[in-house]
Each structure stands twice: as C-alpha cells, then as structure tokens.
C-alpha cells in the first residue's frame, strides 16, 4: 500500500526568499564614534581654523548703531469739511464741473511713507543735507572725537574729491541711483498694523549721524507733504474762483465759496503745524550701544560650522577608503 505524503509548499521557506540581514548593511554607531575619535585631531584642527577665522572676521566688522523714532499720524481736520460738502452738495457741484471728492482717496499717512521710500525724496534728502560722503565713503567712527573717518581710496576728505576707481558707466562720485540703494538698506520705515504707529529707524557707523538723519527725515517729510497740500489748495482756489465767474447759479456759487473756504483752512492748518503728517511720540536718540554685529553669534556659528565640516571630512574619508 503506497502512502503519499503531501507537503504544504508554504511549510518551508528558502533563504533566497528571506535573505538574512548582514551586519555590514547596518550603520554601526560604535564604528562611527570610533572613526570620529580616530580623526579627532583633524576635526579639532579644522574647528580651530574656522573659530579663529570667525573671531578675526567678527573683530574686523565695524559697530553699527541704530537710532529710531516713534510717530503717530497727525489728525486731518481739514478733510472733514470736504467730506461733509461731498455728501451734501456733490451732485449739484458736478453740474458745474467741480469734483468735490470724498472717501476712497489715498491715505495721506501711507502716501507720506511711500514718498519717504522714493528715489526722488532720497535724492533730495542726500543733496539737501550733503550726506553723500557720510553714506558712501564712511569707513569707521572715532568715538573720542565723535567724527567719521572716510576711506581714502574712495573719498579725499581734505579736498572733497571722490577718488574711487570704477568702470563705466559709473563715475568716481557715486550717482543718486547708487546712493539710493545704499540709503534704502540703512533706513527702515514700518507701520504697526494694530495701532498705526510709524517707526523710522536709521543704521549707521556713527550714532550721532543716525540720530540726525532720523530727525531730518521726519522734518523733511512733514515739510514735503505740507508744501504739496498747500500748492494743491492754491491751485484749487484759483480754479474755483474761475468757476465762480463762469456761473450764475446762486446755489452753485454758494458751494464754490464753501470749497474755497475749505482750501483756505487747508492752507491755515499747514502754516500753523510743523508736524503736518507725523506727530513725534518718541524722538530720535543717540544710541549708546551698538545694534550689530553680533560678534558672539558669529564666533559660535563659525565654530559649529568648522566642527561639522571636520566630522564630515573624517567620515567621508573613512567610508570612501572602505569602498576602495
């Protein structure tokens, strides 16, 4: 009697189906630490080089001082009268070809901030206060004499002549485009979204210069906005006076006279207020402590980078030698 023994094919598995994991395929942490320990002198040497380099770099960086002022948007009383006229007589005034205007215009505070960031305002500021050398040629600040020292390869302080060597189309004396790029990196104007408070800050080698520039910026933007509004009010008054002469409708004449009165108020507010757009909450100060560079952070980062580079070189050399 023949008995057949049936075996389940799944009972036995071959080594080919489930290969054993060899120790060579795994990363042995002990081996890594051993390799790092063997190359510790190379790691220390590389770390020391980068640390020394970071220290030298940090020491060579000049101190930068930051001065800032807090500003609040000035109230615009004169706009209330125009808004009232716009809501009351806007349709009637349009018959005479006069646009009273109303809401929806550009916010004066935001316009002033954008003007401060503009190329034209920056160029006028640099030329008006004669600060091109302080901006483009200052090398360091003499604390004892509170005086800027200029780079002799860029600017001759005694003769007032620019001597830097540049290729065309640039000239020895920096253009306003070059000055604008440098100025934009030094001057920051921010607005707090919740409160609307405006912060104007300037960074410079000299704390005195930084404080002076902030003060000048606030004065200049107030003056610029005042002159723009006064000029616009005068043009509007001239136009309204001509419209009065051209119309015989009594109601329209009444509106035009009121508009002229509002323009006169605008001029009056501008003349009596020095802080026309921005009112100073906290004026600019001469900083006693530097804002940057953070020398300790530079040294720590240089040390960490050197240590990581040394470890990677030691491990890379070890694993490449094993493959060979």
- How far lies 58's CA from each of 130, 299, 308, in Å? 31, 7, 20
Model confidence at 118: pLDDT above 50 = yes
**What pLDDT is stored for residue 324 in this prediction?**
59
C-alpha neighbours within 13 Å on the C-beta side of residue 245: 6
**What pLDDT is stored for residue 269 in this prediction?**
78
**What pLDDT is stored for residue 21 in this prediction?**
44
**What pLDDT is stored for residue 251 in this prediction?**
76
Model confidence at 102: pLDDT above 80 = no
**What pLDDT is stored for residue 96 in this prediction?**
45
pLDDT tens profile 207-231: 999 999 999 999 999 999 999 988 8
pLDDT tens profile 275-319: 889 999 999 999 999 998 888 999 999 999 999 998 899 888 877
Model confidence at 204: pLDDT above 50 = yes
Cβ atoms of residues 166 and 108 within 8 Å: no
In degrees rounded to 5, what are phi and psi of residue 190?
Answer: -125, 150
In this structure, what token pair is assigned to residue 272?
Answer: 């009596």
**Angle at CA 302, nearest 5°, toward 296 and 304?**
105
User: Rounded CA gap, 108 and 105, in Å?
Assistant: 9
- CA torsion 306→311→316→318, rounded to 10°? 140
**Span 23-28, average pLDDT:** 54
pLDDT tens profile 41-76: 998 999 999 999 999 998 988 899 999 999 999 865
pLDDT confidence band for 254 (50 / 70 / 90): confident
Cβ atoms of residues 64 and 293 within 8 Å: yes
**What pLDDT is stored for residue 106 in this prediction?**
60
Alpha-carbon Rg for the chain in angstroms: 36
- DSSP-assigned states of every residue in 170-216: --SSPPHHHHHHHHHHHEEEEE-TTT--EEEEEEES-HHHHHHHHHH
**Span 123-128, average pLDDT:** 96
List own/partner pairs for 136-140 with CB under 8 A and 24 or more apart.
Answer: 136/174, 136/178, 136/179, 136/182, 137/162, 138/204, 138/205, 138/206, 139/62, 139/205, 140/62, 140/205
Model confidence at 181: pLDDT above 90 = yes
In this structure, what token pair is assigned to residue 72?
Answer: 């609040």
**What pLDDT is stored for residue 11 in this prediction?**
47
Model confidence at 262: pLDDT above 50 = yes
- Spatial neighbors of 54 by CB under 8 A, at least 6 apart, are 298, 299, 301, 302, 303
pLDDT confidence band for 27 (50 / 70 / 90): low
Q: Is 262 exposed, middle or buried (0-12, 13-18, 19+ CB in 10 A)?
A: buried
**Span 195-202, average pLDDT:** 93
**Span 88-97, average pLDDT:** 48
Model confidence at 112: pLDDT above 90 = yes
Q: Is 11 exposed, middle or buried (0-12, 13-18, 19+ CB in 10 A)?
A: exposed
Average pLDDT, the chain: 82
């Amino acid at each position: 009697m023949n008995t057949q023994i049936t075996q389940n094919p799944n009972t036995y598995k071959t080594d080919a189906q489930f290969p054993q994991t060899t120790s060579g395929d795994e990363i042995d942490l002990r081996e890594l630490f051993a390799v790092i320990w063997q190359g510790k002198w190379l790691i220390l040497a590389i770390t020391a080089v980068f640390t020394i380099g970071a220290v030298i770099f940090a020491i060579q960086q000049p101190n930068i001082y930051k001065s800032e002022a807090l500003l609040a948007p000035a109230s615009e009383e004169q706009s209330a009268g125009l808004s009232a006229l716009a809501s009351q007589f806007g349709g009637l005034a349009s018959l005479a070809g006069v646009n009273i205007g109303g809401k929806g215009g550009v916010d004066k505070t935001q316009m002033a901030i954008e003007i401060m960031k503009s190329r034209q305002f920056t160029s006028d500021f640099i030329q008006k206060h004669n600060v091109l050398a302080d901006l483009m040629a200052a090398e360091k600040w003499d604390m004892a004499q509170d005086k800027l020292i200029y780079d002799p390869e860029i600017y001759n302080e005694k003769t007032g002549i620019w001597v830097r060597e540049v290729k065309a189309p640039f000239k020895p004396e920096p253009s306003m485009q070059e000055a604008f790029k440098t100025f934009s990196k030094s001057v920051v104007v921010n607005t707090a979204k919740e409160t609307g408070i405006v912060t104007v800050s300037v960074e410079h080698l000299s704390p005195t210069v930084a404080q002076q520039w902030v003060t000048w910026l606030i004065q200049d933007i107030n003056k610029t906005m005042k002159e723009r509004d006064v000029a616009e009010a005068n043009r509007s008054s001239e136009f309204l006076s001509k419209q009065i002469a051209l119309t015989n409708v009594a109601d329209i004449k009444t509106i035009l006279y009121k508009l002229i009165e509002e323009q006169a108020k605008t001029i009056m507010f501008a003349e009596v207020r020095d802080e026309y757009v921005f009112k100073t909450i906290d004026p600019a100060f001469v900083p006693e402590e530097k804002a940057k560079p953070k020398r300790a952070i530079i040294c720590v980062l240089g040390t960490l980078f050197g240590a990581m580079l040394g470890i990677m070189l030691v491990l890379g050399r070890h694993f490449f030698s094993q493959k060979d």
